[in-house]
A = this chain, B = another copy of it.
């Protein structure tokens, strides 16, 4: 197997992407405890919350309190999702290292998610980028529905390429190419990356998979084979999107670690710490999570 990276940086998105759709409100105290467990696993990157209106995402209405209570750690990038300048200001004030903006590659999803056309979205993100750069922050942008749009079906690779190039030109430091509904196949991933990597270097790209159809690990593998060395995942496989009918949880961090470590790819993270963190948030949410490894661990089996 060729082209595999030696090291992969995992972007832990559980506290934001993972929790944003949960009906059960996790108390700030427990959120902070979970985030600290995740940091303790050795992660170098964690998206801890989202500075959006509590009306949009009530699960993360305590963004400010969460950010204030988490102990920052050297060499760990703290990120937060922000939809606009106001959110950016709040995230900067809260001491975030990186601001994550978002838009979609498909018009309909973009419209439903942020009530703007793609063209109308750019100036909003530009304000965030300028605000962030002024404050010496790095900027990440999600490109949602980069493979399949729940309203439009398969998304043309050229559309993703066009949005990606526009964002990079505007000063975005890293793109997160999202399979929002979890419907991509490894061949689609391979095709998209073969086009994208002609224009963009791998250090600017993270891949973001959901596991709706059980394809997330296979899609990560296809990405690794194209030299991708940044992958998003969510502890416990938590996740989903309120504006993407049919979307299930993210690639589970514990399964991603298993995949990478078993293939001899380093991450700097400890699997057992992520299992513990996953078991912790599962207890707090009070429901069984969709993570194969967590099930094995809970059953007390799998002694290999």
Which A residues contact B (CB, under 8 angstroms)?
1, 4, 148, 150, 153, 181, 183-188, 190, 211-215, 217-218, 220-222, 245-246, 248, 252, 255, 258-259, 262-264, 290-293, 295-296, 301-304
A254 CB, nearest partner CB in chain B, Å:
9
Q: Are A262's CB and B221's CB within 8 A?
A: no
Apart from A1-B190, A214-B252: 14 A-B pairs, beta carbons within 8 A:
A150-B304, A186-B221, A187-B262, A212-B292, A212-B302, A213-B293, A214-B259, A215-B255, A215-B258, A218-B218, A218-B220, A246-B301, A246-B302, A248-B296
A304 lies within 8 A of B258 (CB): no
For A224, the closest partner residue in chain B by CB is B186
Number of copies: 2
> Is A304's CB under 8 angstroms from B259's CB?
no
Residues of B within 8 A of A211 (CB): 292
Nearest residue, chain B, Cβ from A186: B221
Bound state CA distance, A102 and B162, in angstroms?
A: 54
Give complex CA distance A255, B246 in Å.
Answer: 15
CB–CB B290/A186 < 8 A:
no
29 pairs, A vs B, C-beta closer than 8 Å: A1-B186, A1-B187, A1-B222, A150-B304, A153-B304, A181-B302, A181-B304, A183-B304, A185-B263, A186-B221, A187-B263, A188-B262, A211-B292, A212-B302, A213-B293, A214-B217, A214-B258, A214-B291, A214-B292, A215-B217, A215-B255, A215-B258, A217-B217, A218-B221, A245-B303, A246-B303, A246-B304, A248-B292, A290-B295
Q: A263 to B290, alpha carbons, bound, how many Å?
A: 25
Interface centre among A214, A221, A292, A293 (most CB of B within 10 A): A214
Residues of B contacting A222 in the complex (Cβ-Cβ under 8 angstroms)? 1, 221
Please give, as numbers and ranges, the residues of chain B lying within 8 Å of A301 by CB-CB distance: 245-246
Kindly provide the distance from the CB of A300 to the nearest chain B CB, expressed in whole angstroms: 9
Report the minimum CB–CB distance from A275 to chain B (whole Å). 12
The chain B residue with its CB closest to the CB of A237 is: B214
* CB–CB B259/A186 < 8 A: yes
Please name all residues of chain B whose beta carbon is closer than 8 Å to the beta carbon of A292 when the two chains form the complex. Answer: 211-214, 248, 290
